[in-house]
Amino acid sequence: MSLPNFIDHVKLYLRAGKGGAGLVHFMRAKFVPKGGPDGGDGGRGGHIILRGAKQRNTLLQLKYRKHILATNGEPGGDSCKTGASGKDVLIDVPLGTVAKRVDDDQVVVEVLEDKKKYILMQGGKGGWGNAHFKTPTHQTPRIAYPGEAGMEGWMVLELKLLADVGLVGLPNAGKSTLLSVVSAAKPRIDSYPFTTLVPNLGVVAYRSDHSFVMADIPGIIEGAAAGKGLGTRFLRHIERNAILLFMVSAECNDIPKSYAMLMSELEAHNPSLLAKPRLLVVSKIDLLDQTTRKTLDLPQGITCCPISAHTGEGIIRLKDLIWEKLSV
């Protein structure tokens, strides 16, 4: 089975343009016997620029573009003319894209605003022409500077989806079903584990024409931080979520233990995630009788909301709890 065209990690070699060389030139005119230096400066090398594009939700367009090169600046001309700048390379990426250096994993750029441009690799400056070096005591300079090299190197682009609510849970906890019920998203739903292989986003309508964005993250199993199951590959997507919505099925034998395991895996991946506001959803509550529901063992210190995506029970209360957390 082939995976959907969701790409959230690409490695690219980027090279900005080199600046154009300055020119050594002297004015030559019929009635100007001693024309002075008039060599122009070289043009700037082209930048490599990332631009936020909210309509994009994948880095698929960059999957097969391993090398991206901007053009060089043109050399300076006579009559103090500056050379043309190199053409910039503009790359549209989804909001939430992070650019890191491969060698030290340092974040260089974070794309957070739609249509905003972020210079990732700066083009080299153009060199000075000899007109810059004229002085009263040195009226015929025969020197000019070459253009500077542009920035270059390997970069990693990672996508961290921007969403208000991130769904975190074991496989088959009902995350995709919940997303399909409260939004217009149509994630794949089936009865076997790891049906969700890529994150899904949905816009959830709320009272008085309000709305919020919910992200369905592929299931986490014990040992995910060590690489089991799908590992922590997709956990980066919840780093930008305002609220974490933990989901545990009512069929689970030990709800507090499952919740503690999910918390442990998040802490192993990134301890700062535990500081985010969170709610616990006990899904598939329709599978339990009324007596069993009243005796459910629930973890302490977190607001719990039993729901049934099948019958709609608890969905309105869940939306109210989410909006209350978002409004703080």
Domain that holds residue 303: 165-326
Residues 265-275 pLDDT 10s: 888 878 888 88
**What pLDDT, on the 0 to 100 scale, is given for residue 219?**
63
Looking at the structure, tell me whether residues 150 and 188 fall in a common domain.
no
What are the angstrom distances between the C-alpha of 24 and each of 15, 47, 76, 144, 279?
Answer: 28, 26, 9, 6, 70
93, 137: one domain: yes
Counted domains in the chain:
2
| Pair 100, 69 in one domain | yes
pLDDT at 134: 92
In this prediction, residue 1 has a pLDDT band, given cuts at 50, 70 and 90, of very low
Q: Among 159, 180, 197, which residue terminates a domain? A: 159
Residues 135 and 180 occupy one common structural domain: no
Q: What is the mean pLDDT of residues 178-203?
A: 67
Residue finishing a domain among 136, 159, 182: 159
The strand pair at 165-169 and 243-249 is best described as: parallel
For residue 188, what pLDDT is reported? 56
Claim to verify: residue 65 and residue 146 sit in the same structural domain: yes
The token pair at 270 is 């990134």
pLDDT band at 169 (very low <50, low <70, confident <90, very high): confident
- Higher pLDDT residue, 84 or 183? 84
Residues 103 and 174 in one domain: no
Is residue 172 located within the same domain as residue 313? Answer: yes
Give the whole-angstrom CA distance, residue 151 versus residue 157: 17
pLDDT in tens, 108-123: 999 999 999 999 999 9
Residue 194 has pLDDT above 60, yes or no: no
Strand ranges (DSSP E) for the chain?
Answer: 9-15, 48-52, 67-69, 89-93, 97-101, 107-110, 117-121, 152-159, 165-169, 200-205, 211-216, 243-249, 278-283, 304-306
Are 324 and 303 in contact by the 8 Å Cβ rule? The answer is no
SS3 content of the chain, % helix, strand, coil (to 5): 20, 25, 55
Q: What distance in Å separates the CA atoms of residue 281 and residue 305, rounded to the nearest whole number?
A: 5
Q: What is the pLDDT of residue 28?
A: 84
User: pLDDT tens-digit profile of 43-101?
Assistant: 999 999 999 998 887 888 898 889 999 999 999 999 999 999 999 999 999 888 999 99
| Final residue in a domain of this structure, among 117, 139, 159 | 159
Same domain, 294 and 184: yes
Q: What is the CA radius of gyration of the chain?
A: 29
- If one compares 27 and 185, the residue with the highest pLDDT of the two is 27
148 and 20 belong to one structural domain: yes
Share of the chain above pLDDT 70, in %: 89
Q: What is the pLDDT of residue 324?
A: 92
Residue pLDDT, tens place only, 123-139 = 999 999 999 999 989 98
pLDDT of 141 strictly over 60: yes
Tens digits of residue pLDDT in 207-237: 877 888 888 877 675 555 455 544 456 677 7
Residues 87 and 189 in one domain: no
The structure tokens 């329709």 sit at: 286
Residues 123 and 176 in one domain: no
pLDDT of residue 197: 53
The CATH number of the domain holding residue 88 is 2.70.210.12
Specify whether 43 is located in the same domain as 150.
yes
pLDDT given for residue 221 in this prediction: 56
